[in-house]
Structure 1
Amino acid sequence: MHQPIFARSPRLTADRRRASRLALTAASAAIALGAAFGAPVGTAFAEAPSVTVAPASGPASFADIVDRVKGAVVAIKVKAYEESRSPFEGQELSPDDPMYRFFKRFGETPQKRMTQSQGSGFIISADGYVVTNNHVVEHATDVEISLEDGRNLPAKVIGTDKRTDLALLKVSDGNKLPYVEWSNTQPRVGDWVIAVGNPFGLGGSVTAGIVSARGRDIGAGPYDDFLQIDAPVNRGNSGGPAFDSHGQIVGVNTAIYSPSGGSVGIGFAIPTEVAKDVIAALKEKGSVSRGWIGVKIQPVTPEIADSLGLKSSKGALIAQPQKGAPAEAAGLKAGDVITAVNGEKIDNPRELARRIAAMGPNKIVDITYIRSGAEKNAKLTLGKLPEEKEARAEEEDLGGGAGGGAQLSSLGIGVAPAAQVPGAGGEGLVVVDIDPSGAAAQKGLRRGDVIVEAGGQTVNSRADLTGAIDGARKEGRRSVLLRVKSADGAKFIAVPLKQSAG
């Protein structure tokens, strides 16, 4: 625990030595100047500038805060069963192989084995509600918490939310339990943060640092809005609290960035303003109901903004509205850019997703969007966000082979009408060939993608596509905007144009 202090000491000593040398140098210069101009040497020395080094500021100790909160921080032990198969599963053995009969008989039967894992959590009420991460208790058959005083208590999972990786547990021992409270203020970058938890099963460990950044998207889910902290957290800290300098919870420690698996000073915590609402919903209903408008959205890049004639790249571009969803019922279409919800500006798709989700189902909202350069409004009633569905890409025979289809050198692709490609449907142009170094490939277009619109117009032939490209040039556009369907769904891609048509 003292190493950081010692690590800083040599640097501070070196700074002071440099300051002393600087002061002596300045004093010597003043003496020389005084002698040159006939001033008294003593006066020149007295007026020489001095340099001081301010000591590092910060709290003398976090001990008082830790004493207040440590009783509410718990270690969580989880038992679960998972299926395991033979390491040879999936490998093809010849019937003549001497091991064939053995693995045929014993190698393909799933075996259940018990696993044990550990994490952290914290009590938020005297009657024993405990917050942790979903991934700590996911698939658990038995959950036990260990209190700071050494007691072990069985815990019941009240509810989990996979999208934000939060879970709520309940324990009881017949008495009031120590608990901690959520902070009502958002921490600023540079504020102190204290992490308490159960790293590597050690229990009751405390580290401190600062909030390094806010609003981090680490690809964990659609509502990523993490605090980045440099208070060291490690395996087993998941689900533990991050406290501010007043001993209130500002985040739930969830993930780390680490090439080695240990802390390198980059940790991520779910901020209180997100966690508090999710935990309240889990306590009330055991699940979280989120609002839903039913659109696939993507960012408005500068290239897309230019292609649409927009002055700003802020907002969320609708790549595809889902059939029968609230957005389609309200008249929203692919190519519309949502810029505000209930009059509050939307900067990007992630902000739109969080805002709509937080409102919950059955709320009436006013959507502001831009279509063909004009601002419009639509009122719609939010639906309920359905359960996540896994999308799987399937390989299709695209036909044509390398060099197949009509070539467009301006984009670096070869295309063929979808009606001529088995399994591609009857609308649009299938990309059957693509130059890996071409403009389209660099922007994410892939072989097998289906171009359904270009420049806002439906395309079913090479002539349609070249006409849209020529039209974009005549309007002074630097890119042509393509609406593309792929295995991942629909999206818009703005492909830069060459000076001459292909």
Structure 2
Amino acid sequence: MRMFKHYLVALMAAWALGVSLVAHANLPDFTSLVESASPAVVNISTRQNLPTRRGGTMSMPDLEGLPPGIREFFERSIPQMPQGPDSRQREAQSLGSGFIISADGYVLTNNHVVADADEIIVRLSDRSDHTAKLIGADPRTDVALLKIDAKDLPIVKLGNSEKLKVGEWVLAIGSPFGFDHSVTAGIVSAKGRSLPNENYVPFIQTDVAINPGNSGGPLFNLSGEVVGINSQIFTRSGGFMGLSFAIPIDVAMNVANQLRTEGKVTRGWLGVVIQEVDKDLAESFGLEKPAGALIAQVLENGPAAKSGLKVGDVILSVNGQQIIQSADLPHLIGNLKPDSAAEMNIVREGARKTVSVKVGDMPDDDSIAASGQPGAERSSNRMGIAVAELTDDQKKSLQLQSGIVIKQVTDGPAAMIGLRPGDVITHLNNQPVVSARQFQDTVKKLPADKSISMRVMRDGRASFITFRLPK
């Protein structure tokens, strides 16, 4: 019996060892990748001259005439402030990462690593420092291109971020907290992520540990090819929490090539405000499933307006590429050249059609702002709101041909969906609102317990909302 127990223990140990060896055999070995790729990864530091904080140039008070013991105490206790012309400046330093993309010294990094720098220092893997020239930067994609005066430098291999798959192993090399050439690994968690205020980058999401100092560093696939630039993390603590985001290398190189040849970046622009199509909006617009980008606003004299796109159109595809989420549209349009034509499949008033749109050149500031004041009051009790006609001045300031403004909100469906006085209603149940009377008539005919869409403008921004009227 004892011999059997020893045999069983030995068998279990052998099984555990076998499982461990199999698991180890399935894990990737990054050593060769790191050895070949590390020499092309650089550390980036910057210096910026900043005005001294208020009170920073305060001089020592006049201590003459005080007893020696008291004067000595004040001299020890009061900090000595620098004087002279240099006392009005102080230095700021930042640390980031980057990687060499050409043997003659072009370096790619994040814009936020070098923004507002008076001096940029690139440290190579051989510990030599080089002052870099900023060739150009694009804040919209957070990409910057640098140039150092050097030759025969090691370079990275560039991959294709479009071929990257969710679940694939990836590796980052950078300088977190100033620790040069630190290596971390993980997998691709998702692709095509859109982040707030980052409309033109379909980010690669990973669980690779990224910390301050990794910004601008390369993200490699197992073939040793750069597939992204590590850009930012999602965190509530200030440290890594398992959510890292990288700029696809295809996007970054498109920007870098434009910066190198043109000195600036141009991208396609439609001149529309869009929103997500949820389940209720899909039902109200006659779509089989939530998909596409709903046009909530068309900017006057913009490319979309000139090409005949209308408020309420749902864009389903651009040049054959499907719009699954509304955030896909800016990515696709931004990659098109200004003045090029884009074939769009749209849904308008429940019918599918194809339109050709001439893409414009994105302006530096395409934001709009408008406001309106209420006019003469009319009421509509079924919705629980009192409305008024728009004045000519309001229409002009809001760039509208028609619409009504909410004067008062009482208990009812309007209050439940968050409408408030000052909101402007331009469309109801997929139809333009041309007057307060027509609005009232439309409300009376709305079906009960069915998803209904309404286009509302607030503070110059338009969006579609949905609601259901009780039976």
> Where on the TM-score scale, by shorter chain, does this alignment land: which range?
0.7 to 0.9
> Of 265, 272, 275, which aligns to 1:288?
265
CA contact under 8 A between 1:421 and 1:430: conserved in structure 2? no
1:54 alignment counterpart: 19
Change in 2 beyond 3 A, CA 1:488/1:268: farther
Give the TM-score of the pair, scaled to structure 1.
0.76
Report the Cα offset of residue 238 of structure 1: 0.6
2:307 alignment counterpart: 330
Change in 2 beyond 3 A, CA 1:444/1:202: farther
1:495 alignment counterpart: 467
Residues 289-339 of structure 1 deviation map (CA, whole Å, 9 limit, x = unaligned): 111222222222222222222333322222222222222222221111222
Report the Cα offset of residue 451 of structure 1: 0.8
Change in 2 beyond 3 A, CA 1:237/1:181: same
Report the Cα offset of residue 278 of structure 1: 2.0
Residues 367-406 of structure 1 correspond to what in structure 2 (within 5 A)? 367-391=344-368
CA contact under 8 A between 2:216 and 2:229: conserved in structure 1? yes
CA contact under 8 A between 1:295 and 1:318: conserved in structure 2? yes
2:39 alignment counterpart: 71
CA contact under 8 A between 1:310 and 1:373: conserved in structure 2? yes
1:418 alignment counterpart: 390
| Distance in structure 2 (CA, Å) of the matches to 1:461 and 1:432 | 14
2:75 alignment counterpart: none
Residues 88-167 of structure 1 correspond to what in structure 2 (within 5 A)? 113-167=90-144
Report the Cα offset of residue 200 of structure 1: 1.2
> Of 400, 415, 424, which aligns to 1:450?
424
CA contact under 8 A between 1:411 and 1:495: conserved in structure 2? no
CA contact under 8 A between 1:132 and 1:239: conserved in structure 2? yes
Q: After the TM superposition, which of the residue ranges 385-394 and 242-251 deviates more from structure 2? A: 385-394
Q: After the TM superposition, which of the residue ranges 418-427 and 125-134 deviates more from structure 2? A: 418-427
| Distance in structure 2 (CA, Å) of the matches to 1:192 and 1:115 | 36
| Distance in structure 2 (CA, Å) of the matches to 1:236 and 1:422 | 50
Change in 2 beyond 3 A, CA 1:81/1:428: farther
> Of 201, 220, 224, which aligns to 1:247?
224
| Distance in structure 2 (CA, Å) of the matches to 1:422 and 1:115 | 48
2:458 alignment counterpart: 486
Residues 238-277 of structure 1 correspond to what in structure 2 (within 5 A)? 238-277=215-254
> Of 182, 185, 190, which aligns to 2:158?
182
Instruction: Write the letter of the residue equivalent to 1:77.
Output: S
CA contact under 8 A between 1:418 and 1:460: conserved in structure 2? no
Report the Cα offset of residue 264 of structure 1: 1.9
CA contact under 8 A between 1:469 and 1:480: conserved in structure 2? no
- For residue 203 of structure 1, give the secondary structure of its aligned residue in structure 2: coil
Residues 472-483 of structure 1 correspond to what in structure 2 (within 5 A)? 472-473=446-447, 478-483=450-455
CA contact under 8 A between 2:194 and 2:327: conserved in structure 1? no
Structure 1: runs of 5+ lacking an equivalent: 1-19, 25-49, 88-110
CA contact under 8 A between 1:215 and 1:226: conserved in structure 2? yes
Instruction: Write the letter of the residue equivalent to 2:250.
Output: E
Report the Cα offset of residue 218 of structure 1: 2.2
- For residue 463 of structure 2, give the secondary structure of its aligned residue in structure 1: strand
| Distance in structure 1 (CA, Å) of the matches to 2:415 and 2:166 | 39
Instruction: Write the letter of the residue equivalent to 1:415.
Output: V
- Counterpart check, 1:459 vs 2:433: yes
| Distance in structure 1 (CA, Å) of the matches to 2:92 and 2:420 | 42
CA contact under 8 A between 2:383 and 2:443: conserved in structure 1? no
- For residue 252 of structure 2, give the secondary structure of its aligned residue in structure 1: helix
CA contact under 8 A between 1:303 and 1:494: conserved in structure 2? yes
| Distance in structure 1 (CA, Å) of the matches to 2:157 and 2:418 | 46
| Distance in structure 1 (CA, Å) of the matches to 2:422 and 2:54 | 36
Instruction: Write the letter of the residue equivalent to 2:390.
Output: A
Instruction: Write the letter of the residue equivalent to 1:450.
Output: V
Residues 443-476 of structure 1 deviation map (CA, whole Å, 9 limit, x = unaligned): 4544421112212334355543232233331xx7
2:76 alignment counterpart: none
1:428 alignment counterpart: 403
| Distance in structure 2 (CA, Å) of the matches to 1:223 and 1:388 | 14
| Distance in structure 1 (CA, Å) of the matches to 2:321 and 2:409 | 42
Give the TM-score of the pair, scaled to structure 2.
0.80
CA contact under 8 A between 2:173 and 2:181: conserved in structure 1? yes
| Distance in structure 2 (CA, Å) of the matches to 1:491 and 1:258 | 29
CA contact under 8 A between 1:414 and 1:434: conserved in structure 2? yes
- Counterpart check, 1:364 vs 2:364: no
Residues 122-168 of structure 1 deviation map (CA, whole Å, 9 limit, x = unaligned): 00111111010111111222111011111000111111111111111
1:8 alignment counterpart: none
| Distance in structure 2 (CA, Å) of the matches to 1:198 and 1:248 | 19
Aligned length: 422
Structure 2: runs of 5+ lacking an equivalent: 1-7, 56-87
